[in-house]
Amino acid sequence: MIDRMSSSNSEILGLISKCREMKDVVKKSSALQLINQLLPPESRVKLPSLITNDGIDNLLSWIEVKISPPIYGLTTP
């Protein structure tokens, strides 16, 4: 299960990277919806009906932080 989850997270991180490169906000919004659907139900984001390019980038960053492995040694005691 852990390997499958890591693979899924890697796939999502790759999609996030591709989504960030998109210039068309409609396509970028569609990609964000796909990424959101790939997340486990408890991790999904409630997406607003109208969203800006900056809003999409902020949500992508939030998702990226949530699914990225922790960086040891950088946590607050």
Q: Where are the domains of the chain?
A: 2-42+50-67
- Assign 73 a pLDDT band (cuts: 50, 70, 90): low
Nearest to 67 by CA among 4, 10, 28: 10
- Tell whether the model's pLDDT for residue 3 goes beyond 50: no
pLDDT of 74 reads: 59
What's the pTM value of the predicted model, to 2 decimals?
0.79
DSSP H stretches of helix in the chain: 2-21, 25-38, 53-67
> Are the CB atoms for 54 and 3 separated by under 8 Å?
no
- Give tens-digit pLDDT for 19-71: 999 999 999 999 999 999 999 898 899 999 899 999 999 999 999 998 887 77
